[in-house]
Homo-oligomer: A and B are copies of this chain.
Amino acid sequence: MHTKITKLFNIEYPILLPGMSLISVPKLVAAVSNAGGLGILASGTMSQKEALDAIREVKSLTDKPFGFGASLMIPGAKENVALALEEEVPVINFSLGKGDWIVEKTHTYGGKVIATVVNERHALAANRYGVDALLVTGHEAAAHGGDVTSLVLIPRLADIVDIPIVAAGGFGDGRGLMAALALGADAIAMGTRFASTQESPVHGNTKQAILDRSISDTIYTTKFDGMPCRIMETRHAIEYIQQTPDDADMFSTALRAGPAIMSAIVDGDLDKGVQLIGQVQGLVEDLPTVEELVQRVITQAQAIRSTLPN
Q: Is A280 an interface residue (CB 8 A)?
A: yes
Q: Which residues of B contact A87 (CB under 8 A)?
A: none
* Chain A residues within 8 Å of chain B by Cβ, number: 48
Q: Are B280 and A152 in contact (CB under 8 A)?
A: yes
Would you call A181 and B150 a contact (CB within 8 A)? no
**A175-192 interface bits toward B, Cβ cutoff 8 Å, 1 = contact, 0 = none:** 110111111100000000
Q: Taking A119-B216, A120-B214 as contacts, is the C-beta distance between A283 and B181 under 8 angstroms?
A: no
Known: A1-B310, A156-B282. A179 touches B170 (CB 8 A): no
* Residues B181 and A176 in contact, CB atoms below 8 Å apart: no
**Residue on B with the closest CB to A167?**
B151
A149 within 8 A of B: yes
Known contacts A175-B155, A175-B184, A176-B183, A148 near B308 by CB under 8 Å = no
Partner of A215, one of B120, B171, B282: B120
Residues on B with C-beta less than 8 A from A179 are 151, 178-180, 182-183
Q: Are B153 and A308 in contact, with the CB atoms below 8 A?
A: no
Closest to A219 in B: B147
Name A190-247 residues within 8 Å CB distance of B: 214-216, 218, 220
- A132 sits at the interface (CB 8 A): no
Q: Is there a chain B Cβ closer than 8 Å to A254's Cβ?
A: no
Cα(A35)–Cα(B184), bound, Å: 26
Cβ contact within 8 Å between B308 and A216? no
A250 located at the interface, meaning its Cβ lies under 8 Å from any Cβ of chain B in the complex: no
The 7 closest A-B pairs by CB, nearest first: A151-B170, A178-B182, A179-B179, A149-B149, A179-B182, A152-B279, A140-B149
Return 28 A-B CB contacts under 8 Å, by A number: A2-B309, A119-B216, A120-B215, A138-B151, A139-B139, A139-B140, A139-B149, A140-B148, A147-B218, A147-B220, A149-B149, A149-B150, A149-B151, A149-B279, A150-B151, A151-B169, A151-B179, A152-B215, A152-B282, A153-B215, A156-B215, A156-B282, A175-B184, A176-B183, A178-B182, A179-B179, A179-B180, A182-B182
